[in-house]
Amino acid sequence: MSARIIPVDPFDYVVFGATGDLSQRKLIPALYYRFYDGQFDTNSRIIGVSRSEMSDEEFQKFARDAVNEFVDADHIEPQMLDDFIGCFSYIANDVTDREGWSELSASLRDDPNVVRAFYLAVAPFLFAPICDYLSSQNYWTPDARVVLEKPLGHDLQSSVEINDTVAEVFREDQVYRIDHYLGKETVQNLLALRFANALFEPIWNSAHIDHIQITAAESVGAGGRSYYEKSGALRDMVQNHLLQLLCLVAMEPPASDEANALRDEKLKVLRALKPINGEAVHKQTVRGQYRGVSAEDTKVPSYVEELGEGATSNTETFVAIKAEVENWRWNGVPFYMRTGKRMARRASEIVIQFREIPHSIFSRSEGVPTPNRLVIRLQPDEGVKLFLMIKDPGPGGMRLRQVPLNLSFADTFTQRTPEAYERLLMDVVRGNQTLFMRRDELEAAWAWIDPIREAWDNDATPLHGYTSGTWGPTSSVALIERDGRTWHEELDDPKAI
């Protein structure tokens, strides 16, 4: 079955923070790809709102430059790009100024057939005034949607306050909390792999799985960003991205693929996570910060050096955690999560490590069977590998060898794999909340993270240095190896999926 492009209803997409980095690198290119594929046409409008003084023509140039820089040249057609750019208009507005909203009102169509969506690509402290003004100026409609970008708070209390503010205006079924990891093609394929095949579900439990690894590694640094200094890797990556991946791996089969059926099962996983507090924080978590590299042909600054001269910081750029899900399916199965900046390579993957066979009929000279392993690569080069034991071909008797069954998306599917934001932006228009976090999910994740953060703030866990271009501090290796396990080594192979 080939990919189908299902057109969406006409929409007015209002993007607050429209001249920011997220809009330039992700939102505008994603919208162009959807326009290019015919998912929407010139009946839809994209309205940028920001404090910068800018005309419609200047904003259209900004959008055109974003497409030319971040869209594959093979997909840029001059006439189609002109038509797409014609959908854009701009309003200069300081959202904290009530006097600046009248122009936005005139730009929105009062047509029940036109979906109205507000994308808040701004700092969370602006969510409250924006939602308040949207309500007071009657921009809110029963079918309107609001999209919230992270960070949605820095702890449980601040998250509750933000969500309470939004809830005064928008119902929960109107709120779309973005986690772009959930829009990735391979993440959704995890659902298909588990629930569209009879092969895995009978063995997807503690009787057959030894442990699970979730890795999200970045080769770039934090670049001295003030946001990252306030959040760190735990809040920036673990609280949302990694815990969401853990939920998709660990959850029970939902009754359907309807949004709340899926999110109900994810919530159960979050509530089943064994708390990590007290002495367990020191034993089950590792935090690190990358150091610089200085050699004749290489100069990489440390995290502190990126912050500026004379700076100091206790912010973690690396986290490793051993988590446990306390329920019948996963009792005794550890979930090892790690994420970091300035690591050896950019790579995100999930590794399902199965248990050893109970008894080998082969002699040691013929080879020792290696446990099966399912590797789901999220980025780059999306794909799935299942490692199996086979006989090495050729004469000379039995020789066991482990080889992968390799499903590479690039090799298997001819069409371009959509970026995460493409799917998520259109799901907002469609009113499909399946790939978005519900409020109770978000708060359950914060409730599990907060004790770890508090213990770190109280210096219960040291901040380990690690060299840029490595896989993190040695203490993260010790975290998993003292359990007799090791981090998935194929990450070191640049030709891995």
What's the number of CA atoms in the CB half-sphere (13 Å) around residue 96? 6
- Which residues, including other chains, have CB under 8 Å from residue 402's CB and lie 6 or more apart? 370, 387, 388, 389, 390
Gap between the Cα atoms of 54 and 167, Å rounded = 32
The answer, yes or no, to whether the previous bond of 253 is cis (omega within 30 of 0) is no
Matching residue, tokens 């140039």: 61
Would you say how long the chain is, in residues?
497
Token pair in block for residue 318 = 């690396």
435: three-class secondary structure by DSSP: coil
Q: Cα dist. 219→181, 281, 340, 401, 469 in Å?
A: 17, 27, 8, 32, 7
What's the number of CA atoms in the CB half-sphere (13 Å) around residue 117? 27
Are the C-beta atoms of residues 376 and 200 closer than 8 Å to each other?
no
Given the residues 154, 180, 211, 241, select the one marked as catalytic.
241
- Which residues, including other chains, have CB under 8 Å from residue 144's CB and lie 6 or more apart? 116, 117, 118, 134, 170, 174
154 is a catalytic site residue: no
Nearest to 145 by CA among 483, 411, 428, 441: 428
Gap between the Cα atoms of 410 and 416, Å rounded = 8
141: three-class secondary structure by DSSP: coil
Catalytic residue set = 241
